[in-house]
Amino acid sequence: MRSMRTHQVSVRSGLSLAAGLLACLTFTQVAPGAVPYKTITSAGPLTSVAIGNEGSCQIGYQGDARLELFPSSTTPGDCGTLIFSGGALYAPSFSSHGGSAASGLGVTTPYTPVSQTDVSGGGSTASPFKVTTAYDAGTTGIRVTEVNSYVAGQEYYRTDVQVKNTGSAPQSGIIYRAGDCYLQESDTGFGFLETSNNGPGCARNANNVPAARIEQWVPLTTGSAYMEDSYGTVWRAIGAHTVFPSTCQCSVALDNGAGLSWPFTIAAGATHTFSHLTVFSPTGITGGQQQSAPGTTPTPTGAQALPLPSNRRCTSRRAFPIKVRQYRGLKYTLAIVAVNGRKVPVYIYTTRRIKVTKIGAVYLNRKRFRAYVDLRGLAKGTYRVRVTAVTTDGQVLQATRKYRTCSGRLGGSIPRL
């Protein structure tokens, strides 16, 4: 956890795709001295994409109790565009956000806001929601025009950062797009790298195996370098004014952050654009997977469609629910839950709750089902929990996870389903 002596601490703290769209809302200041921002809102799964007028950002995901970037209760958050040029590091005004842990950047010069549009567009592929923000990097002559756009129904939004040299001489430097990850359940996570696009990210599980909650930066402009590490190490790398080292602490649990960097040299009067996607998926579907078949939904793995609770801790008080909901249009006709091959009761939720005790399977009639796994009182050992579901189009999806019990003591209570 982050020290209260070094920064203000905020408490850190899913899956159905909504068809309708909510009206776009715009927000300005939320408290005296706060950074003005505009917010794209929709039915999700990204319910809010907030952009500060000085290049910062914050995201909300459908069903999540808190926001996706640290501080998880502050908008904007520790996320955005940073530029090193002319011997100075230009950055969003993180200290004005009402909470920040970006002190590792060292000395920065806040951007000078120029303009910010209201939210436009209808949220479709042909007309995405869009906010355009312009700000200057001091007196360098660098004008940044940042366009953030979102198509409702996608688990990512797009950022295009146009850097124009309005001066009379070439400008060189480094542009960064980075953020301090918050993975909802914990201040600690692992890293992963999607090698097909060199897109780094923060993940609940090491190397995103098995696939679970992720946040990812996917470059669309060539020539980028990447980094995933502790949030402080990422900020210090930017504060050192160096290109990211293209490293990932993928197998180490850290209070982490990640991002991309590009070196640039821009002639007088010229413009370069740096683009990327920022991905938020509670089931670990990466940006490359989501882009692999434009206009279609990727086929999920069993682990993605049927997520199981964490097995990181050994405990004698394990009694936890399994909740399987419709996943991106998948509808189930049959579901079975078993512990070490022995079927356990499953509940179906329609207009009333029905308990099935004999076969541990439910014909779902397109409704959700829930079950609980009760390991209390079992001998110390390892127990395999398996969920199997058959979809209406004949797919068989399966997820398996092993859990350890520490002792045979009874304890706790069966969780409410």
Cα 168 versus chain centre, distance: 40
Task: Tell whether 315 and 262 lie within a shared domain.
Answer: no
For the stretch 225-283, pLDDT in tens is 999 999 999 999 999 999 999 999 999 999 999 999 999 999 999 999 999 999 999 99
CATH number at residue 336: 2.60.40.10
Could you read off the pLDDT of 1-12 as tens digits, one per residue? 454 333 333 333
161/261 same-domain check = yes
Q: Which among 272, 291, 310 is the end of a domain?
A: 291
Last residue of a domain, one of 291, 323, 358: 291
pLDDT value of position 336 = 80
197 and 258 assigned to the same domain = yes
Domain that holds residue 273: 37-291
What per-residue confidence (pLDDT) applies to 214?
96
CA 152 from chain centre, in angstroms, equals 16
Query: At a CB cut-off of 8 Å and minimum separation 6, what does 235 contact?
Result: 102, 103, 104, 105, 178, 180, 257
Are the beta carbons of 191 and 256 closer than 8 angstroms? Answer: yes
Q: Is 411 part of a structural domain of the chain?
A: no
Residues 235, 354, single domain; the answer is no
| pLDDT for the residue 352 | 46
Please tell me whether residues 172 and 204 are part of one structural domain: yes
> The CATH number of the domain where 269 resides is what?
2.70.98.40
Shared-domain flag, residues 222 and 340: no
Total tally of structural domains belonging to the chain: 2
Does one domain contain both 286 and 310?
A: no
Q: Is residue 410 part of a domain?
A: no
Of 260, 291, 322, the one marking the end of a domain is 291
Which DSSP symbol is given to 25?
A: B
**Which among 7, 243, 188, 201 is positioned nearest to 102, based on CA atoms?**
7
Note whether residue 95 is domain-resident: yes
CA distance 58 to 169: 35
Give the per-residue pLDDT at 403: 78
Instruction: Tell me: do 177 and 316 sit in the same domain.
Output: no
Q: Which residues of the chain have pLDDT under 70?
A: 1-33, 292-307, 309-321, 323-331, 333, 345-370, 372, 377, 392-395, 407-417
Q: Which two tokens stand for residue 206?
A: 């090491």
At residue 313, the pLDDT reads 65
Residue 270 placed within a domain: yes
What is the model's pLDDT at position 395?
A: 67
Q: Are residues 133 and 186 in the same domain?
A: yes
> Is residue 401, in this structure, part of any structural domain at all?
yes
| DSSP per-residue string spanning 151-198 | -TT-SEEEEEEEEEE-SSS-EEEEEEEEEEB--SS-S-BEEEEETTTT
Residue 182 is assigned to a structural domain of this protein: yes
**Residue 379 confidence (pLDDT):** 74
Domain shared by 76 and 148, yes or no: yes
User: Would you say 202 and 256 are in contact if contact means Cβ atoms under 8 Å apart?
Assistant: yes
Q: What is the pLDDT of residue 18?
A: 31
Q: What is the pLDDT of residue 327?
A: 58
Residues 163 and 98 in one domain: yes
Longest CA pairwise span in the chain (Å): 80
Contact 141, 166 (CB under 8 A): yes
